[in-house]
Homo-oligomer: A and B are copies of this chain.
Amino acid sequence: MRDLLVALRERGIQPTAQRLAVAQFVLEAKSHPTADEVWEKVRKRSPTLSRATVYNTLNLFVEKGLLRTQLVREGALVFDPYVARHHHFIDDETGEIYDVPWEAVKVSGEKSLRGYEVRDYQVVMRGKRRAP
């Protein structure tokens, strides 16, 4: 609660009720919701919240580095509160997206690619989730 306020202020985001509600949901979401999913969820607590505000807010958060978007779901962007580098695993059956820690997978050779100057990369894996 208090830390959310601080987190927004730290990034120069004026903390309004709507933004706090969105932040509360999306920053501690372990899932990777789309904007519409955020809207539907947060609307239950704040019924006056408009779709436009959710989109505006999410875009603002991305701009300010609080979230990043991922292009791993068809048809929609998903928002990820895990802004540090990491990889993704997508469950074939459910479409669920999981974060994979950066150190869990190693990539090599990307620095010596002729013709490309790689600034950033990620591994996108697909398969079946199984009990750990």
- The verdict on A116 contacting B92 (CB below 8 Å), with A105-B110, A107-B107, A123-B121 known, is no
Contact B109 A104 (CB under 8 A): yes
Given A123-B123, A125-B110, A118 and B89 contact (CB-CB distance below 8 Å): yes
Complex Cα spacing A128 to B119, Å: 7
Interface string of A70-87 (1 = CB under 8 A from B): 011110010000000000
Within the complex, what minimum Cβ distance (angstroms) separates A79 from chain B? 13
Interface SS of A by simple majority:
strand
Q: Is B126's CB under 8 angstroms from A124's CB? A: no
- Residue on B nearest A114 in the bound complex, by CB: B132
A56 located at the interface, meaning its Cβ lies under 8 Å from any Cβ of chain B in the complex? no
**Bound complex: CA A118 to CA B71 (Å):** 19
